[in-house]
Structure 1
């Protein structure tokens, strides 16, 4: 360069201009600065050093230069130059899709968005499948509702929605959430209309619950040769599953006032219920909110947000492309609910498995780091990226992403962090929320005389006194539950020597008295999910009173114990010596199998809770193989992620098997 005090050469000024263009300097400012720099070498040198530093910081961003200006008031991050990226309220109302692998920053994004929503006076409902958000009560005014405390009767229509109309809507939603086809959906709707008539819902405030609907279906006498018998079995199986382990959610005639909760910041924890129950709760609540807003005529701009991760639970591309099951009602809802000021913010780590409708109906999209090539290509197509731009996404680190509005160019984005102490336990959050939840109005389940008469149950039989009167057949059926816990209902009738009609009547009597509950065991194989009977604490007391030996089952539910039994029988049939609840110091292994020089520790994982600790326990026992048997793919994925986080990888001795291998 020329000496100090001299002017820079023309090619040097051109180089400075190129640097300015590279970092996005405005034309007016560039012209002024170049004029000054061209007259003094020292000024030129200072400006060149400044713009070289800026260009160095922007080297990985060139492919998207010049950056789109997205500066709405709802801030979500910054662009590579540190400029704020934000959405308008209208854009938030038109839904946002967030994709990224585990650990990419999705949960942190939700933390920050919830805080931003509070600042903009926009209440929200968060469906929490991992118990991640309870810790925010330290920072925000939240009502955190654990599923064990939640009360929701999906058979109760929104205000000003007629039961007949709601029945058709609910049947469609129930069928989609539980994978029922059109014939079973039609049968479900017929039974729903019948129970609404028995309760006279058009003239009273009393509503049946899923428990009463299940009993109505069970009492429906259909010849096994009839095609409707299969529909009945499928619907009854789904209802039994809903009213089983997670049945406390639906154990009410009138649940929490959802309309009032829409004015609060609410987190609904749904980690433990099985996938069918969780999907149904989410889809039924989304549907309830939409038809409530519609009935109230509440068409306006952004008024409420609904947020959740693991969006493919609801917006599954495979289900949306199955003609036999019809067009998913929830997909249709996505495009309509925005009219009523409801904005959706949903996330997933596998965008290739999300429905086309969700991707088409989300105006804003945020792409964080992805691990799968299939998912990267899916998002590249959605964003309209060329190969060079797609390659940029492979360099993104945690908290970095690519943001795009419809009909706008993508912008690299840096998300803010969120410091949070995750120390809140389930017991602590439930105790903290109890006073608020106890203040919410709830109506217990009711059974009108007309309903009981239809089922052939006298009103006196519905109320159990201290001696709990039970018929002879019902007592035999009750005793068989403790003596032969893993028999299906039809096999149980055979075991006590009664036909289907008398057996069903006895079972209904036991269910009505609260002595047993029906539980459907998921097997991972359609049509092969047995329904079992499980003793309630009241049922155990009744058998004790009558002198029966009732073994302790601990905290294990019937589904977990059923699969322990099945796994043990499987290995025994293959030449292993197998033992349940095998003691390892003060701890126990679900199933321990040994043959010659081979040892296997098997843990049955109905949910992800505590499974990493169980795996460590088995590894410490020194077995050859630790086998984790999972009922749902989602549970397997979450355990695998937790294991990788704990160990840095999945240990060679740890293998995962689906429960269907033991059917």
Structure 2
């Protein structure tokens, strides 16, 4: 309750000089009625603040309110965030729905590859992409590569949480997010192409794991994807395992330089360690022979 209820007891000593008792009583009753009406009005306004739905996006234009049932108070996905097969009853266009479902199913495809697979033009795809960004459903992520960059489309944290609340499977993210997972996926594909048996997130005890562990013809290789925060720690945990090869793959050249500085600072000198980044991607198969 925003305003406390008002009782007529407060007016028991109400006095107007030079007036009769009946007039004073009438004035007190009128004042009490006005206060009670004001209290009810405050309650009504407060309820509107509590249940007022949040906007789906903030793009500088006028925003339409959502229905009360679309509030996150109920745990439901807001109407503009809901994945539907029906063309009606949703503010997402058919192309936007198709794009969003594909982002969830194939998170590591760049926009060019994605549009080609979905058989939608770049113009139509970019229009749908921009609408989903403005609605707070996805955001673009640039991945630097040897020849330029790949643009991934990732679900926003709020959208991922909404999907979880509605029973939709959303894979957990390690530190580094989609960038870390993208390179793990690319390295896994290259290892498997070269005949390695690959295990992701292989446990090694003490609540630690290897990003990629691979075996082929009796040889054992470990790959750690570095985003710039734990380069030295990730290699230290691998040294006691007596692996045939250790690869530290930095997601950018800047991260590689930072990782090398950490190795020098921690006095890490390992003969079977190779430090790579996207600039050496075209030669990475040489390390998987």
TM-score past 0.5 threshold: yes
Q: CA deviation at 1:446?
A: 6.2
Q: Are positions 1:592 and 2:196 aligned together?
A: no
Question: In the alignment, which residue of structure 1 is the partner of 2:278?
Answer: 659
Secondary structure, aligned partner of 2:172 = coil
Secondary structure, aligned partner of 2:192 = helix
Secondary structure, aligned partner of 1:589 = strand
Q: Report Cα offsets for 1:233-268 as digits up to 9, x if no partner.
A: xxxxxxxxxxxxxxxxxxxxxxxxxxxxxxxxxxxx
Residue among 567, 572, 582 paired with 2:187: 567
Q: Are positions 1:483 and 2:95 aligned together?
A: no
Change over 3 Å in CA distance of 1:506–1:633 after alignment to 2: closer
Q: Report Cα offsets for 1:347-391 as digits up to 9, x if no partner.
A: xxxxxxxxxxxxxxxxxxxxxxxxxxxxxxxxxxxxxxxxxxxxx
Query: Aligned equivalents of 1:502 and 1:614: distance in 2?
Result: 43
Change over 3 Å in CA distance of 1:646–1:559 after alignment to 2: same
Query: Aligned equivalents of 2:214 and 2:67: distance in 1?
Result: 47
Q: Are positions 1:601 and 2:205 aligned together?
A: no
Query: Aligned equivalents of 1:531 and 1:487: distance in 2?
Result: 8
Secondary structure, aligned partner of 2:255 = helix
Does structure 2 conserve the Cα–Cα contact (< 8 Å) formed by 1:579 and 1:593?
yes
Q: Are positions 1:530 and 2:142 aligned together?
A: no
Query: Aligned equivalents of 1:497 and 1:551: distance in 2?
Result: 27
Q: CA deviation at 1:604?
A: 1.1
Alpha-carbon RMSD: 2.8
Does structure 1 conserve the Cα–Cα contact (< 8 Å) formed by 2:214 and 2:220?
yes
Question: In the alignment, which residue of structure 2 is the partner of 1:643?
Answer: 263
Query: Aligned equivalents of 1:497 and 1:580: distance in 2?
Result: 32
Question: In the alignment, which residue of structure 1 is the partner of 2:239?
Answer: 619
Q: Report Cα offsets for 1:137-179 as digits up to 9, x if no partner.
A: xxxxxxxxxxxxxxxxxxxxxxxxxxxxxxxxxxxxxxxxxxx
Q: Where does structure 1 lack aligned partners over 5 or more consecutive residues?
A: 1-444, 450-457
Q: Are positions 1:628 and 2:248 aligned together?
A: yes
Question: In the alignment, which residue of structure 2 is the partner of 1:505?
Answer: 127
TM-score by length of 2: 0.63
Does structure 1 conserve the Cα–Cα contact (< 8 Å) formed by 2:146 and 2:281?
no
Q: Report Cα offsets for 1:55-102 as digits up to 9, x if no partner.
A: xxxxxxxxxxxxxxxxxxxxxxxxxxxxxxxxxxxxxxxxxxxxxxxx
Q: CA deviation at 1:579?
A: 1.9
Does structure 2 conserve the Cα–Cα contact (< 8 Å) formed by 1:479 and 1:543?
no
Does structure 2 conserve the Cα–Cα contact (< 8 Å) formed by 1:477 and 1:506?
yes
Query: Aligned equivalents of 1:561 and 1:461: distance in 2?
Result: 36
Secondary structure, aligned partner of 1:628 = strand
Residue among 464, 473, 487 paired with 2:95: 473
Change over 3 Å in CA distance of 1:589–1:523 after alignment to 2: same
Does structure 2 conserve the Cα–Cα contact (< 8 Å) formed by 1:605 and 1:630?
yes
Does structure 2 conserve the Cα–Cα contact (< 8 Å) formed by 1:463 and 1:513?
no
Does structure 2 conserve the Cα–Cα contact (< 8 Å) formed by 1:570 and 1:662?
no
Secondary structure, aligned partner of 1:534 = strand
Q: CA deviation at 1:661?
A: 3.2
Question: In the alignment, which residue of structure 2 is the partner of 1:448?
Answer: 60
Query: Aligned equivalents of 1:463 and 1:631: distance in 2?
Result: 43
Query: Aligned equivalents of 2:169 and 2:253: distance in 1?
Result: 38
Does structure 2 conserve the Cα–Cα contact (< 8 Å) formed by 1:582 and 1:591?
yes
Q: Where does structure 2 lack aligned partners over 5 or more consecutive residues?
A: 1-56, 72-77, 81-90, 283-289
Does structure 2 conserve the Cα–Cα contact (< 8 Å) formed by 1:571 and 1:593?
yes
Change over 3 Å in CA distance of 1:509–1:544 after alignment to 2: farther
Matches within 5 A, 1:181-580: 447-449=59-61, 459-460=63-64, 466=71, 467-469=78-80, 470-471=91-92, 472-525=94-147, 528-544=148-164, 548-580=168-200
Does structure 1 conserve the Cα–Cα contact (< 8 Å) formed by 2:253 and 2:278?
no
The structure whose RCO (Cα within 8 Å, separation 6+) is larger is 1
| Count of aligned residue pairs for this structure pair | 207
